[in-house]
């Protein structure tokens, strides 16, 4: 994780701990929370990527269906003209 994000996360962690009257938090705990947040965000981004792929596939299928429909209509029009 980038240093700036880790610093923000640690700052939030210190704020929450102090607001609940806890002693100054351990650096190991902060590192574990940082790692857990990073893994969770990574997991969410991976799921979003899969969802995006599925939506793109659906859009492609719909586009192909529309093209086929247009082609059939054009063939019908040509057939009626001749």
pLDDT, tens digit (0-9, with 9 covering 90-100), for 22-79: 877 777 887 788 788 889 999 999 999 999 999 999 999 999 999 999 999 999 988 8
Confidence (pTM): 0.62
Check if the beta carbon of residue 63 is closer than 8 Å to that of residue 43: no
pLDDT at 12 over 90: no
CA distances from 6 to 10, 21, 73 (A): 6, 22, 59
User: Greatest CA span in the chain, whole angstroms?
Assistant: 89
11: nearest Cα among 45, 46, 19: 19
């Amino acid at each position: 994780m980038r240093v700036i994000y880790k610093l923000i996360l640690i700052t939030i962690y210190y704020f929450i701990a102090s607001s609940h009257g806890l002693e100054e938090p351990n650096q190991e705990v902060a590192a574990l929370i940082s790692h857990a947040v990073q893994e969770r965000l990574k997991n969410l981004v991976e799921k979003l990527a899969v969802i995006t792929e599925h939506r793109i596939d659906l859009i492609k299928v719909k586009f192909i269906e529309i093209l086929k429909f247009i082609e059939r209509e054009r063939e019908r029009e040509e057939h009626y003209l001749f």
